Structure 1
């Protein structure tokens, strides 16, 4: 039965690839097929913009992937990769890359070649190192590296000035580089469940911040009233489950600042207080996109894939290629 299943699965995969080739589609979805290898037919899809390979059994990417020079979306989460596939660094048009839930302990310096990258997920990969060259990915807006073994963050993270959503939750970080203060567009910052011993002073400079998670660290030093006052533009600053929250007097001092959450389980009064604060900030918000950012952060915080492919996306994909195809158009007069 297993042989029969594999036979039908293999032919189904080939049929999907041939259909994409025949229809000159821009999207190829080969997710959840338990594939051990990428089919060679993928090489005959050079106009692909989106390639979904998540939830398979891949241990490597073949060199033919480099031929997909137009590729903008690549998902490889939930595979069996034990190293960063270097061929990815040749896909310089990539905008979305997902490597989550593999065994990739470090990123190569060549990651800096991906200068068009806007969204990068490498959650739960046992990651221990991020190279300074990550700073070359200056277009990045979303960066997720949760559930890894990072002990430090490169100073070049401050060069990613377009970042709006950043999470290093559940790592082994003891400090945060001061260069983070350059991330003036950042809305969501998550350092929950690390080894931080003090509240980062750079927060006061990041004026777009709305949600900051520092809970479940080792913060022992009480922030000054001035430091807390200077972060009042933040909608929610969660520092619960830290040593500074253990004393009743300290908690009362922290509660004087309406944006600070110092208890994990909020009582009704605390919830109402934060709701009032959120409402006040919503009225002050001139850009009108903060709520959507927060909702996206919540909804995607446990998601590790970008598997949203289908014919309905072809129109958008075609628009990307119009400038390139226009040179083949001849005007007859």
Structure 2
């Protein structure tokens, strides 16, 4: 938690206009009731605008997105009992991409105003996961293998549909925005956009923490989990709903940021073991720190130009994925 606070502070100070850490927190405290009476303003209006209106919501959104993707990654890996599972394996991001592309290029869902993009992405994500859910059922029960296969198939179809929409677009100026969104970005962060994803991530993490015993049981196999009193079928559906909703909310606000939910659970399991009472909270903190620094690199590497954050996470995640495959001693659950 200390590392997260330090990372947030340093991330806010970095940029074309350098700002002292003390100034950052004085500006922040000046906007908080009861504390603002004790803070004297020794900063310019420009500094306050940069810190409070631009950088602070962006860094907080990065923390929320990183924490959420990591928690979903933990749950997904327990759901399918596959150490290579991540939040996007069920086609959620592909569905969100279709909705977001329709909004950016054709102005769909215009009645929602500034929330049109988020609504379109979330609606697409929700429809895709419902489709995968029905395809994966056999006799009313969810088959893990069919779940994975359905996710891959639906994801491929929806990505193809996104490409068709891009090629059919009547104007070219929105295509760059679409491609930028498809790789993920925190550039549009505003205070108004933070409430829903923050509440969703906190609530989802707390709910999953209360289910940590069942998550631990799922790692031991279905028969063992049933012996320990877990209704595996109902629990799978519960995890599917939680992970789908969380991923949909996150993707709707930040675009598709890959590999975070794959990497963070692995790193944490290698350090603290496989007990979800520890894995879930530490994964959320590590994921938040990782996304904050990935965003710092994304906005400063080619400054004043900014690159999508998904490029940075992929540059880190690709080699990590290869290392994970080559590390023959690694077993799911951190047993070694």
Q: TM-score range by the shorter chain?
A: under 0.3
More helix by share: 2
Normalising by structure 2, what TM-score? 0.26
Which structure carries more strand by proportion?
A: 1
Structure with higher RCO (Cα < 8 A, 6+ apart): 2
